[in-house]
Amino acid sequence: MAQTTTLRILSGLAVRGAFEGGIIQDYEARTGNKVDVAWVPTTLIMEQVAAGEQADVLVIIRDAMDRLVAQGKVDPASRVEVAHSRLGVAVPRGAKHPPVGTVEEFRAALLGARSVAYSRAGASGIHFESIIAKLGIADEVRAKATVIPAGFTAEKLVTGEADLAVQQVSELLVVQGIEVVGKYPEELQQVSSFSAATMTSSTQREAAAAFLASLHGEKANTAYLASGVDPAA
């Protein structure tokens, strides 16, 4: 019997819905390999890699991948562009949907919320901090915010700790029991583009290459769109 290969992946949260929605299952069924994924914000993945963490494949925001290429941490020849993710707003299932389509509506929704959940470590939380400062409401929002170190902010809607959550749309959709109200106004939007590549230290190059190849194609694109991200061209 052929020995099963386990592929270790460190991946940003935005693509979790697509990966678990068919991409990983399809890869494992076709190759007989197993996939072990740690879902971690890009900022923390960068810290872990700098500290010596090893994995076969990294899936992170594009500019972070650029830095790892320059550092020789990943093989640039293996790199593929994966998906584009936008920021959105969610409420508990059945709750009223505040309008968020314009900057003023978005501002009013944040001020009107009992508590807004956002992530301190993720790119979405870092951007959100800059937005509330730009809108002049940082003190008011922070005073009643539910801030998590990492993970899925919409979980705080389910527990009742917050009544509004902000994060990548794909990350919000991972959580059951919530509804996405809409995306950020374009003036405040931040599009995060994700890349994937094999770490130069990986000993599972063939398995990693097969996984990276599975990130494009009709099945993968269907999984991306269903999870709230746009497939990279």
Q: Please state whether beta strands 87-92 and 164-168 pair in parallel, antiparallel, or not at all (unpaired).
A: antiparallel
Q: Which tokens belong to 27? A: 């890869």
Q: In CATH, which superfamily holds the domain spanning 87-188?
A: Periplasmic binding protein-like II (3.40.190.10)
* Residue located via tokens 């009992």: 114
Residue 1's pLDDT is 42
Is the model's pTM score more than 0.85?
Answer: no
pLDDT, one tens digit for every residue, the chain (233 residues):
456 899 999 999 889 999 999 999 999 999 999 999 999 989 899 999 999 999 999 999 999 999 999 999 999 999 999 999 999 999 999 999 999 999 999 999 999 999 999 998 777 888 999 999 999 999 999 999 999 988 899 999 999 999 999 998 988 998 999 999 999 999 999 998 999 999 999 999 999 999 999 999 999 999 999 999 999 97
Q: In CATH, which superfamily holds the domain spanning 6-84+193-231?
A: Periplasmic binding protein-like II (3.40.190.10)
Strands (E), 111-221: 116-119, 146-148, 164-168, 178-183, 192-198
* Residue located via tokens 């550092």: 71
Please state, in angstroms and as integers, the Cα–Cα distance from residue 13 to each residue in 114, 186, 227, following that order.
Answer: 26, 22, 12
Q: Residue 199 and residue 98: Cα distance in Å, rounded?
A: 43
SS3 166: strand
Angle between helices 205-213 and 24-31 (to 10 degrees): 130
Q: Residue 54 and residue 9: Cα distance in Å, rounded?
A: 9
6-84+193-231 and 87-188 have identical folds: yes
- Per-domain residue ranges for the chain? 6-84+193-231, 87-188
